[in-house]
Amino acid sequence: MSRPFDIGLETLTGQPLLSGNVARQGVGAGQRGTFFLETFGCQMNDHDSEKVAGVLLSRGYRQVEKPEAASLILYNTCSIREKAAQKVFSRLGEYRDKQAEGKIIGVLGCVAQQEGEDIFTRAPWVSLVCGSASYSKLPEMIAQLEAGNHRVTGLDTDTDETFETDVTRRDNPWRAYLTIIEGCDKACSYCVVPYTRGPERSRASDSILREVRQLADLGYSEVQLLGQTVNSYADPTARRMRFSELLLAVAEVEGIRRVRFTTSHPSDFTRDIVEAIESQPKLCDHVHLPVQSGSTRVLRAMQRTYSREEYLEKIAMIRNASRPIAITTDVIVGFPGETESEFEETLSLLSEVKYHNLFSFKYSPRPNTPSLAMRDMIPEEEKGRRLAVLQERQREIQTVQHATLVGETFEVLVSGKSRRENQWFGYSTSHRVINFTSQATELLGTYVQVHVTGAGPNNLVGEHAA
Ligand code: SAM
Ligand code: SF4
């Protein structure tokens, strides 16, 4: 779902013009050039791209939908699994002749951080490599290229500038992403994030709340706080707000109706977060709590810092809340050395917890990670089989769970309109997708009551209740 590209800067900022940048000096949209930006990856990558687009738009660049029309072609890529990293190199291959036409080709994000200057060797037509902590410096880096520099890099990982961009061009006009904590200090043995995004840095609570107030003024009613381990948030200011206090403060901002947060790490998931959800209805009934495996032996090998039993205690704490909270998770199958019976422990965990949704991945060996050196790599074919079995189990669970919701009524934030007449879709506070019929002519971005009349494994269907 993307917004048109020609949004006025006033709409993005809520201010007439920006501070300390080219736009202030009177450079109009497109006068500096045009850019095409493609993103592969998670919500944090999507949000990083929103910041990159904001930085460039505010400096007088215009965003275009096709690389052919751009003077600047940028790929923002995730490297969490090998496939995503390969994808960017195959995309770059399509543009090997474009440098000769005067186009600047750049790689941003985790792949940029991970591969660094090696990208210039692998794809010599690339002239810009920039990790996520250096996005605010992009205009200066591009200016260097325009001035005749052949190659520029921005590869710091622990700068404080990560969060602060003057303008963010958000794709969704109702739900705004907001990164509150960057990097990660956990050391899961399979994961590249600590290498690509650097150490954990939390954003100042007053800066977060200022941006939330601006977002509410611009008409956003839902905010989603982001971080690799969002609940490890540690306010660097004298206020020392706890994560749960921050959630409550965000919910109190006038105009905000829903607050989400992702991803939570089980070890840092504490009772006060559940209490905050219990006490404040604007905090959504949904927690994403990645488990990765149902086997304590595998969890230890993954360096996940909790056992199966400790994880289940967190689940019990959430389930005991005074209102129902949907729980979703991430699972990796085929971690090195995972036996058939350890895999079955993951299946039994699924049956026990009955997740509302699940994101599942085949283990992917990543550069620099400790698990690379582990023995007993599971063959690709076997990983594929385990993934299919896991997904089928989850499908059965969701089918049963969704059937119990028929007859209920949910509040839905209407997020899209289907091509079929009178068909809309949106999300409940527990992040269930509901497709529904309504005779109304305009509902996008509004909150409506939907009566559920049917259910499938992946969504609910219903009717707009008067
Ligand atoms: N920080 C989050 C956490 O601790 O759960 C997850 C961040 S990661 C972007 C999202 C998911 O990708 C992880 O939860 C994990 O399931 C998956 N993942 C990470 N590294 C992986 C790897 N090497 N192979 C397969 N899946 C991986
Ligand atoms: Fe990666 Fe683990 Fe950090 Fe999540 S908690 S980002 S999986 S190292």
Sequential pLDDT tens for the chain (466 residues): 333 333 333 344 333 333 323 332 334 555 678 999 999 888 888 888 998 998 889 888 999 999 889 999 999 988 888 887 788 888 888 888 777 778 899 999 888 988 889 999 999 999 999 988 788 788 889 889 888 888 999 888 765 555 566 667 888 889 999 999 999 999 999 999 998 888 999 999 999 999 999 999 999 999 999 999 999 999 999 999 999 999 999 999 999 999 999 999 999 999 999 999 999 999 999 999 999 999 999 999 999 999 999 999 999 999 999 999 999 999 999 999 999 999 999 999 999 999 999 999 999 999 889 999 998 899 999 999 999 999 999 999 999 999 999 999 999 999 999 888 899 999 999 999 999 999 999 999 999 999 999 999 999 999 999 7
| Ligand 2 atom at minimum distance from 185 CA | 3
* Mean predicted lDDT score pLDDT of the chain: 89
Hey, what are 2's tokens?
């993307």
Predicted local confidence at residue 437, as pLDDT:
97
Residue nearest to atom 11 of ligand 1 (CA): 330
Sole residue written with tokens 């989850």: 394
Tell me the ligand closest to 189's alpha carbon.
2
Residue nearest to atom 5 of ligand 2 (CA): 186
- 8 A C-beta contact, residue 72 and residue 104: yes
Distance between Cα 80 and ligand 1 center (Å):
7
Tell me the ligand closest to 367's alpha carbon.
1
Q: What is the pLDDT of residues 97-135, one digit of tens each?
A: 777 778 899 999 888 988 889 999 999 999 999 988 788
| Ligand 2 atom at minimum distance from 228 CA | 6
Sole residue written with tokens 């350890």: 342
Distance between Cα 191 and ligand 2 center (Å):
6
Predicted local confidence at residue 11, as pLDDT:
40
Predicted local confidence at residue 88, as pLDDT:
86
Predicted local confidence at residue 89, as pLDDT:
87
Distance between Cα 303 and ligand 2 center (Å):
10
Residue nearest to atom 4 of ligand 2 (CA): 228
What is the distance between the terminal CA atoms of the chain, rounded to a whole angstrom? 27
49 lines ligand 1 (CB under 6 A): no
Q: Which of 80, 81, 182, 191 to mutate to test the pocket of ligand 2 (most atoms within 8 A of CB)?
A: 191
Tell me the ligand closest to 228's alpha carbon.
1
Three-state DSSP class for 269?
coil
Question: Rounded CA gap, 48 and 39, in Å?
Answer: 9
- 8 A C-beta contact, residue 399 and residue 456: yes
366 lines ligand 1 (CB under 6 A): yes
| Ligand 2 atom at minimum distance from 187 CA | 8
Question: Rounded CA gap, 445 and 340, in Å?
Answer: 46
Distance between Cα 38 and ligand 1 center (Å):
21
Tell me the ligand closest to 84's alpha carbon.
1
Hey, what are 286's tokens?
């949904």
Predicted local confidence at residue 3, as pLDDT:
37
The number of CA neighbours under 13 Å toward the Cβ of 332 is 23
Predicted local confidence at residue 252, as pLDDT:
98
292 lines ligand 1 (CB under 6 A): yes
Three-state DSSP class for 295?
coil
61 lines ligand 1 (CB under 6 A): no
| Ligand 1 atom at minimum distance from 192 CA | 20
Residue nearest to atom 5 of ligand 1 (CA): 290
What amino acid occupies position 416? G
| Ligand 2 atom at minimum distance from 292 CA | 7
Residues with CB under 6 A from ligand 2: 184, 186, 188, 191, 193-194, 228-229, 265
Predicted local confidence at residue 120, as pLDDT:
92
Residue 10, Cβ neighbours under 10 Å: how many? 11
DSSP for 9-60, please give it: HHHHHSSSS-SSSGGGGTPPTTSSEEEEEEEES-HHHHHHHHHHHHHHHHTT
Predicted local confidence at residue 16, as pLDDT:
33
Strands of the sheet with 258-262, listed across from one edge: 175-179, 222-226, 258-262
